[in-house]
Amino acid sequence: MLSRSSFTSLVVGVFAVYVAHTCWVMYGIVYTRPCLATAAAGAAGGCVWPYLARRPKLQLSVYTTTRSSIGAESNIDLVLNVEDFDIESKFERTVNVSVPKKTRNNGTLYAYIFLHHAGILPWHDGKQVHIVSPLTTYMVPKPEEINLLTGESATQQIEAEKHTNALDEPISHWRSRLTLNVMVEDFVFDGSSLPADVHRYMKMVQLGKTVHYLPILFIDQLSNRVKDLMVINRSTTELPLTVSYDKISLGKLRFWIHMQDAVYSLQQFGFSEKDADEVKGIFVDTNLYFLALTFFVAAFHLLFDFLAFKNDISFWKKKRSMIGMSTKAVLWRCFSTVVIFLFLLDEQTSLLVLIPAGIGALIELWKVKKALKMTIKWQGLRPKFQFGTYNDSEKKTEEYDAQAMKYLSYLLYPLCIGGAGYSLLNVKYKSWYSWLINSFVNGVYAFGFLFMLPQLFVNYKMKSVAHLPWKAFTYKALSCG
């Protein structure tokens, strides 16, 4: 058996190896070894040269169609045409897109983005590159919120009746943003060791004795956020689409491809569009350098969280007496954690947040069982709860605890009831259950710090803090810092 110090050292060692390995992997992503050869020796050496180095005149065309593949210009609509396209200049344009009847009936609409020579139609250009992206996605619509006291207007009732049967069924949503990138570096690849992530976006052509890769066109799917989605109604004939373009470096392109693959993998494992959106926000809303710093901070946060969790579990596992410990504070922490979990569940929060919250709630329930000296015996399918007895010192602690809770209730209960009444009058909710959970969680967030007072009162009366889990407190303080 490993001692506690040995186990902690092992965890810290594994953590250090993990950080070092992650740094090495990230370096391998952002750094690509170039092909060190001259143009004359490039053909023999297997180098792949950039076609953009020839500075061709390019044109950007965006088409829409309900088909996932097209062979000619039939049944497609041109929505954006940028002549004399400058790959170095960023732009953003908003266009109105005609929505076909098939798409309005819960169908899919695709965008075909072509980068081709100026003055030549894309299907007549042998050196064109294109990429396809769906402009629609399927999501369960968010339930409508109403004022629980005044109800809803007749218009709202009619609209609600239309969607009653479809509330639990995914419907088509419009992606109102399309973000394009072109890799602009005149980078010469080594043909014998092309990066697999970029290779699938590359199209090669033979020009004389050398091999060239055509412009690498990329769609930034991480910029497609849930907040930008719009429900497609059957009466809608046109919807706005914001097309934005910016150049991208090779290092950032490779990093972005890996991140998009990671988000796609999450969805393949059953994570919803909303779950994936939580991950997208980490990358899209953060500068890359700040993101790297955030990674290291988050890694240390995870380490201290784990050590705090380990020491907290060890403390309560060995706990046999509640002398000097506020039972009311333990009950409050349990109540708070369960309420926050139910609130996150009601808000259909990402599984990335919901699962840790659920585990935390189970641990707090286990602590309550230890604090109340509760045993559970099953009589068939019916549980029977038995509570242990307290000794004189524990009873003295309970007296101080009850006294502190009595004074606290004079302040806490009126504030919570007043806040719940105010939200009932002024805030809209999906149901009475939603109002109840929101009222509880608002009380937890607003006044939860007050429940430290019973433990502080017990510490003051007993003139001691030796009974507290100081190791766990220390790691939690480092984690929060």
Mean pLDDT of 147-159: 53
Instruction: Tell me which range, 279-288, 368-377, 447-456, is most confidently predicted by mean pLDDT.
Output: 368-377
CB 166 within 8 A of CB 141: yes
Cβ–Cβ under 8 Å, residues 46 and 36: no
Q: How many CB atoms lie under 10 A from the CB of residue 144?
A: 13
- Residues 142 and 128: their CA atoms lie apart, in Å, by 41
pLDDT of residue 156: 46
What average pLDDT score do residues 45-72 get? 87
Exposure class string for 210-229: b at 16+ Cβ within 10 A, else e: ebbbbbbbbbbbbbbbbeeb
Residue 109 banded pLDDT, cuts 50, 70, 90:
very high
Q: How confident is the model at residue 153 (pLDDT cuts 50, 70, 90)?
A: very low
- What is the model's pLDDT at position 465? 67
| Segment 77-99 mean pLDDT | 93
pTM value? 0.66
Above 60 in pLDDT, residue 393?
yes
Euclidean distance between CA atoms 33 and 189, whole angstroms: 8
pLDDT of residue 332: 83
Q: Roughly how many angstroms between the first and final C-alpha of the chain, as a whole number?
A: 33
329-335: list long-range contacts, CB under 8 Å, 24+ apart: 329/401, 329/451, 329/452, 329/454, 329/455, 330/364, 330/367, 330/368, 330/371, 331/368, 331/371, 332/448, 332/451, 333/364, 333/367, 333/451, 334/361, 334/364, 334/365, 334/367, 334/368, 335/444
Highest-confidence range of 193-197, 269-273, 371-375, by mean pLDDT? 193-197
The domain ranges of the chain are 1-31, 47-154+161-285, 294-480
- Number of CB atoms found within 10 A of residue 50's CB: 18
391: nearest Cα among 331, 337, 323: 323
- For residues 158 and 352, the model is more confident at 352
